[in-house]
Amino acid sequence: MNLWHPVDPSVWQGRDDSAEAANALRLFQTISQPGEISVQSQRGKIALLGFECDEGVKRNQGRPGAAQGPDMLRKALAGMASHKGHDQLVDLGNIRAEPDRLEEAQQALHDTVLACQQARMRTLVFGGGHETAFAHGSAILDAFPGEQIGIINLDAHLDLRHASRASSGTPFRQLALHCEAQQREFHYTCIGASPAANTQALWDEAARRNVTVIEDLAVLNAYEEQVMPEIARHIARFDRLYLTIDLDVMPSWEMPAVSAPAALGVPLAVILRIVQPLCRSGKLQAVDLVEFNPLFDPQGAGAKVAARLAWQIAHWWQH
């Protein structure tokens, strides 16, 4: 079954200011769209991939709709100005999950990301639910088997659930088991976790897995004392970094368009303070933005917030 689909050309459209000046460009004018999974000719660039998937959220008893997220985020990005770094984006299309076929879709995304990473591309993935992270993260681990990989999750949730089937609540426990199978250490930090949104069982699992957790209030009230040293530690210690951003880490007034909106959350301005040094470190190998749900974004404000975050990552993500 071919789960890959190209992006409809109508997604990448926007205002055309090119008559004003040669460099008056927007992303829809500079992004590459090869129309196929073609990686060997794209070395050193940023592969943009979508994961059209609601299956993990459904299994986790959440609000479906994130499968529509990738193309809606592309549409919000399309009309933004194209500056340095944005011309490195290559849109390699979407992996689409069939109903109740999550594992097959995760394998397809894993294999696509692995091919990109082996071709010396970096990967920017738009989910889908947070089940995206197991596919994306395991591909990074598999692409660099002899290296130390630091995993940073910006999220209100720890996503370390025990469950009989994979879901949007299980990806980091799955990654821990993936590391165990490869006899390598599991290095996971969750920043922005809400004590009100995670049961004691999840905190116990985090402790068993030696997960570093910085709670939402600590991010807001002790950024310099707790967050900055943790970011510096990752940059200094690990060979490569994988950053996964669950958009529900942001407050509901800023990001309502998710399965589980946050009552408190960490604002975009603070998220960007975390993201910038990671992008500038030269070690950030992969990023995903997950859980964006257009069904709960009638005014399009959430799409703009998420798109600005993606825009900024591409802008900062230099060699």
Report the 3 state secondary structure along the chain: CCCEECCCHHHCCCCCCCCCCCCCCEHHHHCECCCCCCCHHHCCCEEEEEEECCHHHHHCCCCCCHHHHHHHHHHHHHCCECCCCHHHEEEEEEEECCCCCHHHHHHHHHHHHHHHHHCCCEEEEEECCCCHHHHHHHHHHHHCCCCCEEEEEECCCCCCCCCCCCCCCCHHHHHHHHHHHCCCCCCEEEEEECHHHCCHHHHHHHHHCCCEEEEHHHHHHCHHHHHHHHHHHHHHHCCEEEEEEEHHHCECCCCCCCCCCECCCCCHHHHHHHHHHHHHCCCEEEEEEECCCHHHCCCCHHHHHHHHHHHHHHHHCCC
Where are the domains positioned within the chain? 4-316
Look at residue 230 and tell me whether its pLDDT is greater than 60. Answer: yes
CA distance 252 to 83: 30
In this prediction, residues 2-10 reach a mean pLDDT of 92
pLDDT of 42 reads: 77
Scanning the structure block, which residue is given the tokens 């000046």?
21
Question: What is the rounded average pLDDT of the residues 103-131?
Answer: 96
pLDDT bracket for residue 84 (50, 70, 90): confident
Q: Give the pLDDT confidence score for residue 317 in this predicted structure.
A: 93
Cα distances (angstroms) measured from residue 247 to each of 73, 252, 291, 307: 12, 10, 6, 11
Beta bridge partners of 151: 188, 242
pLDDT value at position 12?
97
Does the pLDDT at position 1 exceed 80?
no
CB 99 within 8 A of CB 116: no
Q: Please compute the mean of the pLDDT values over residues 164-177 and round it to a whole number.
A: 95
Compute the half-sphere exposure of residue 88: CA atoms within 13 Å on the CB side of its CA.
20
Sheet holding 240-246, edge to edge: 4-5, 89-96, 46-52, 122-127, 284-290, 240-246, 149-154, 188-193, 212-215
- Whether the Cβ atoms of residue 120 and residue 42 lie closer than 8 Å to each other: no
Predicted confidence at residue 37, as pLDDT, reads 67
The CATH architecture to which 4-316 belongs is: 3-Layer(aba) Sandwich (3.40)
Q: How confident is the model at residue 94 (pLDDT cuts 50, 70, 90)?
A: very high
Q: Quick one: pLDDT at residue 85?
A: 86
The answer, yes or no, to whether residue 10 has pLDDT greater than 90, is yes
- Measured between alpha carbons, how far is 261 from 40 in angstroms, rounded to an integer? 40
pLDDT number for residue 312: 97
Q: What local confidence, expressed as pLDDT, does residue 2 receive?
A: 82
- pLDDT-wise least confident of 36-50, 108-122, 130-144, 257-271: 36-50
**Rounded Cα distance, 194 and 178, in Å:** 26
pLDDT, tens digit (0-9, with 9 covering 90-100), for 14-58: 999 989 999 999 999 999 988 666 676 778 899 999 999 999 999
Bridge partners (DSSP) listed for residue 124: 48, 287
pLDDT of residue 294 exceeding 60 = yes
Q: What is the mean pLDDT of residues 149-154?
A: 98
Average pLDDT over residues 181-194: 98
